[in-house]
Homo-oligomer: A and B are copies of this chain.
Amino acid sequence: MLLPMERSTATNHAAVLDAARTLFADHGYRGTSMKDIAEVLGVRAPSLYNHVASKQDILHAIMDKAMDRAITALDEALAGISDVSEQLRRATESLVLDFLRYPAEVTVCNNEVRSLDPGNRIAIVAKRDQYAGRLRKIIEQGCRSGRFQTRTPQLAAFAVLEMGNGAKSWFKASGRYTDTYVAGEYGEFALRVVGCTDSSGRSPSAKGPQRSKPQVS
Protein backbone atom coordinates (compact mmCIF):
# COMPACT_ATOMS: atom_id res chain seq x y z
CA MET A 1 0.00 0.00 0.00
CA LEU A 2 2.38 2.64 -1.19
CA LEU A 3 -0.21 5.03 -2.50
CA PRO A 4 -3.05 6.16 -0.25
CA MET A 5 -6.51 5.34 -1.38
CA GLU A 6 -7.73 7.89 -3.85
CA ARG A 7 -11.29 8.78 -3.08
CA SER A 8 -13.11 11.72 -4.50
CA THR A 9 -12.63 13.47 -1.15
CA ALA A 10 -10.02 12.01 1.16
CA THR A 11 -11.23 12.07 4.73
CA ASN A 12 -8.44 11.97 7.26
CA HIS A 13 -7.30 13.70 10.43
CA ALA A 14 -6.11 16.84 8.66
CA ALA A 15 -9.24 17.09 6.57
CA VAL A 16 -11.43 16.99 9.65
CA LEU A 17 -9.39 19.78 11.23
CA ASP A 18 -9.61 21.83 8.04
CA ALA A 19 -13.38 21.53 7.93
CA ALA A 20 -13.80 22.25 11.63
CA ARG A 21 -11.53 25.29 11.57
CA THR A 22 -13.78 27.40 9.37
CA LEU A 23 -16.94 26.28 11.11
CA PHE A 24 -15.53 26.98 14.56
CA ALA A 25 -14.37 30.41 13.41
CA ASP A 26 -17.73 31.28 11.84
CA HIS A 27 -20.20 29.76 14.29
CA GLY A 28 -18.15 29.00 17.38
CA TYR A 29 -17.32 25.69 19.01
CA ARG A 30 -20.69 25.19 20.61
CA GLY A 31 -22.47 26.50 17.55
CA THR A 32 -20.87 23.80 15.41
CA SER A 33 -22.03 20.19 15.57
CA MET A 34 -20.18 17.09 14.55
CA LYS A 35 -22.87 16.72 11.92
CA ASP A 36 -21.96 20.14 10.50
CA ILE A 37 -18.32 19.13 10.21
CA ALA A 38 -19.23 15.80 8.65
CA GLU A 39 -21.45 17.45 6.05
CA VAL A 40 -18.55 19.54 4.78
CA LEU A 41 -16.68 16.30 4.15
CA GLY A 42 -19.70 14.63 2.61
CA VAL A 43 -19.86 12.08 5.40
CA ARG A 44 -22.05 11.16 8.39
CA ALA A 45 -21.17 12.37 11.85
CA PRO A 46 -20.15 9.04 13.42
CA SER A 47 -17.59 8.49 10.65
CA LEU A 48 -15.52 11.34 12.08
CA TYR A 49 -14.64 9.15 15.05
CA ASN A 50 -12.47 7.04 12.76
CA HIS A 51 -10.14 10.04 12.57
CA VAL A 52 -10.50 11.99 15.81
CA ALA A 53 -11.15 10.96 19.39
CA SER A 54 -13.74 13.61 20.20
CA LYS A 55 -15.00 17.06 19.30
CA GLN A 56 -12.90 18.50 22.08
CA ASP A 57 -9.78 16.95 20.56
CA ILE A 58 -10.51 18.71 17.28
CA LEU A 59 -10.60 22.08 19.03
CA HIS A 60 -7.46 21.39 21.01
CA ALA A 61 -5.56 20.20 17.92
CA ILE A 62 -6.55 23.29 15.93
CA MET A 63 -5.50 25.70 18.66
CA ASP A 64 -2.31 23.86 19.58
CA LYS A 65 -1.14 23.76 15.98
CA ALA A 66 -1.98 27.45 15.50
CA MET A 67 -0.06 28.50 18.61
CA ASP A 68 2.98 26.47 17.63
CA ARG A 69 2.99 27.97 14.17
CA ALA A 70 2.75 31.52 15.55
CA ILE A 71 5.55 30.90 18.04
CA THR A 72 7.77 29.38 15.38
CA ALA A 73 7.13 32.37 13.13
CA LEU A 74 8.11 34.69 15.96
CA ASP A 75 11.30 32.71 16.52
CA GLU A 76 12.26 33.07 12.88
CA ALA A 77 11.33 36.75 12.76
CA LEU A 78 13.57 37.54 15.72
CA ALA A 79 16.47 35.23 14.86
CA GLY A 80 19.70 37.19 14.94
CA ILE A 81 18.06 40.57 15.50
CA SER A 82 19.60 42.48 18.37
CA ASP A 83 18.27 46.00 17.82
CA VAL A 84 15.21 46.43 19.98
CA SER A 85 13.32 48.63 17.53
CA GLU A 86 13.84 46.14 14.77
CA GLN A 87 12.76 43.38 17.15
CA LEU A 88 9.48 45.12 17.82
CA ARG A 89 8.92 45.86 14.17
CA ARG A 90 9.60 42.29 13.09
CA ALA A 91 7.60 40.78 15.93
CA THR A 92 4.60 42.92 15.02
CA GLU A 93 4.93 42.12 11.33
CA SER A 94 5.13 38.43 12.17
CA LEU A 95 2.07 38.70 14.38
CA VAL A 96 -0.01 40.56 11.82
CA LEU A 97 1.08 38.34 8.94
CA ASP A 98 0.02 35.30 10.94
CA PHE A 99 -3.35 36.96 11.60
CA LEU A 100 -3.87 37.76 7.94
CA ARG A 101 -2.79 34.39 6.58
CA TYR A 102 -4.56 32.18 9.09
CA PRO A 103 -7.60 34.22 10.17
CA ALA A 104 -9.74 31.20 11.00
CA GLU A 105 -7.19 29.69 13.37
CA VAL A 106 -6.59 33.05 15.03
CA THR A 107 -10.30 33.66 15.48
CA VAL A 108 -10.67 30.27 17.12
CA CYS A 109 -7.70 30.94 19.40
CA ASN A 110 -9.13 34.31 20.37
CA ASN A 111 -12.68 33.18 21.06
CA GLU A 112 -12.69 29.56 22.07
CA VAL A 113 -10.24 29.34 24.95
CA ARG A 114 -13.25 29.08 27.21
CA SER A 115 -14.49 26.05 25.28
CA LEU A 116 -11.37 24.05 26.12
CA ASP A 117 -11.47 21.42 28.82
CA PRO A 118 -9.46 22.50 31.87
CA GLY A 119 -6.48 20.33 31.02
CA ASN A 120 -6.25 21.55 27.45
CA ARG A 121 -6.92 25.12 28.49
CA ILE A 122 -3.92 25.51 30.75
CA ALA A 123 -1.68 24.12 28.02
CA ILE A 124 -2.95 26.55 25.40
CA VAL A 125 -3.02 29.53 27.75
CA ALA A 126 0.60 28.80 28.67
CA LYS A 127 1.65 29.10 25.03
CA ARG A 128 -0.46 32.22 24.64
CA ASP A 129 1.16 33.84 27.67
CA GLN A 130 4.57 32.83 26.42
CA TYR A 131 3.92 34.63 23.14
CA ALA A 132 2.54 37.75 24.80
CA GLY A 133 5.35 37.75 27.33
CA ARG A 134 8.02 37.84 24.63
CA LEU A 135 6.49 40.88 23.01
CA ARG A 136 6.06 42.57 26.34
CA LYS A 137 9.72 41.98 27.20
CA ILE A 138 10.84 43.55 23.94
CA ILE A 139 8.92 46.69 24.79
CA GLU A 140 10.16 46.73 28.36
CA GLN A 141 13.73 46.36 27.13
CA GLY A 142 13.22 49.24 24.71
CA CYS A 143 11.90 51.42 27.52
CA ARG A 144 14.83 50.57 29.81
CA SER A 145 17.37 51.39 27.13
CA GLY A 146 15.65 54.68 26.39
CA ARG A 147 14.77 53.82 22.81
CA PHE A 148 11.05 53.73 23.56
CA GLN A 149 9.10 56.44 25.32
CA THR A 150 6.00 55.21 27.07
CA ARG A 151 4.91 55.35 30.68
CA THR A 152 3.11 52.03 30.50
CA PRO A 153 5.00 49.31 28.62
CA GLN A 154 2.56 46.60 29.60
CA LEU A 155 -0.36 48.62 28.33
CA ALA A 156 1.47 49.29 25.09
CA ALA A 157 2.17 45.56 24.71
CA PHE A 158 -1.50 44.72 24.96
CA ALA A 159 -2.36 47.53 22.57
CA VAL A 160 0.04 46.14 19.97
CA LEU A 161 -1.17 42.57 20.46
CA GLU A 162 -4.76 43.58 19.92
CA MET A 163 -4.12 45.87 16.98
CA GLY A 164 -3.58 42.82 14.83
CA ASN A 165 -7.18 41.78 15.30
CA GLY A 166 -8.25 44.98 13.63
CA ALA A 167 -6.07 44.12 10.69
CA LYS A 168 -7.61 40.68 10.49
CA SER A 169 -11.25 41.76 10.49
CA TRP A 170 -10.57 44.61 8.15
CA PHE A 171 -8.34 42.68 5.77
CA LYS A 172 -11.08 40.21 5.05
CA ALA A 173 -13.49 42.92 3.98
CA SER A 174 -11.26 45.08 1.81
CA GLY A 175 -8.69 43.62 -0.54
CA ARG A 176 -6.85 46.84 -1.35
CA TYR A 177 -3.49 45.88 0.10
CA THR A 178 -1.24 42.86 0.23
CA ASP A 179 -0.76 41.10 3.53
CA THR A 180 2.89 42.08 3.70
CA TYR A 181 2.03 45.74 3.16
CA VAL A 182 -0.54 45.71 5.92
CA ALA A 183 1.91 43.95 8.21
CA GLY A 184 4.47 46.63 7.45
CA GLU A 185 2.01 49.36 8.34
CA TYR A 186 1.27 47.71 11.65
CA GLY A 187 4.97 47.40 12.30
CA GLU A 188 5.04 51.20 12.01
CA PHE A 189 1.99 51.56 14.24
CA ALA A 190 3.68 49.47 16.93
CA LEU A 191 6.82 51.61 16.90
CA ARG A 192 4.67 54.72 17.11
CA VAL A 193 2.65 53.36 20.02
CA VAL A 194 5.76 52.79 22.11
CA GLY A 195 7.08 56.23 21.19
CA CYS A 196 10.08 55.06 19.22
CA THR A 197 11.69 57.94 17.34
CA ASP A 198 14.73 56.18 15.87
CA SER A 199 13.87 52.95 14.13
CA SER A 200 17.47 52.23 13.09
CA GLY A 201 17.57 52.81 9.36
CA ARG A 202 14.04 52.31 8.21
CA SER A 203 12.01 55.47 8.43
CA PRO A 204 8.83 55.47 10.50
CA SER A 205 7.68 58.67 8.81
CA ALA A 206 5.10 58.74 6.06
CA LYS A 207 7.51 60.90 4.06
CA GLY A 208 10.26 58.32 4.17
CA PRO A 209 10.80 55.50 1.72
CA GLN A 210 8.05 52.94 1.72
CA ARG A 211 8.97 49.37 2.46
CA SER A 212 6.47 47.97 -0.01
CA LYS A 213 3.79 49.26 -2.30
CA PRO A 214 0.06 49.00 -1.78
CA GLN A 215 -1.42 46.79 -4.43
CA VAL A 216 -4.92 46.37 -5.73
CA SER A 217 -6.00 42.79 -5.46
Number of copies: 2
Cβ of A162 within 8 Å of any chain B Cβ, yes or no, is: yes
Give Cα distance in the complex from A162 to B168, angstroms. Answer: 10
Chain B CB within 8 A of A169 CB: yes
Cβ-closest chain B residue relative to A155: B185
Residues of B contacting A162 in the complex (Cβ-Cβ under 8 angstroms): 162-166, 169
Q: Which residues of chain B come closer than 8 Å to A163, judged between CB atoms? A: 159, 162-163, 166
The answer on a CB contact under 8 Å between A206 and B154 is no
Task: Let me know if A130 is at the binding interface, CB within 8 A.
Answer: no
Complex interface bits, A140-169 against B, C-beta within 8 A gives 1, otherwise 0: 000000000111101110111111111101
Tell whether A192 is near chain B: CB-to-CB under 8 Å.
yes
Chain A contact-residue range equals 35 or more
Chain B: minimal CB distance from A89 (Å): 14
Contacts of A186 in B (CB 8 A): 155, 159
Residue A114 interfacial (CB < 8 Å)? yes
Cα of A57 to Cα of B161 in the assembled complex, Å: 34
User: Is A39 in contact with chain B by the CB < 8 A criterion?
Assistant: no
In the complex, what residues of B have CB within 8 A of residue A68's CB? none
A206 lies within 8 A of B195 (CB): yes
**Closest Cβ neighbor of A112 among chain B residues:** B28
**Contact pattern, A 86-108, Cβ under 8 Å of B = 1, otherwise 0:** 00000000000000000000000
Q: Do residues A152 and B31 form an inter-chain contact, with CB atoms below 8 A?
A: no
Query: Bound state CA distance, A151 and B31, in angstroms?
Result: 39
Residues of chain A at the chain B interface (Cβ within 8 Å):
26-28, 30-31, 111, 114-115, 149-152, 154-156, 158-167, 169-170, 174, 177, 182, 185-186, 189, 192-193, 195, 205-207, 210, 214
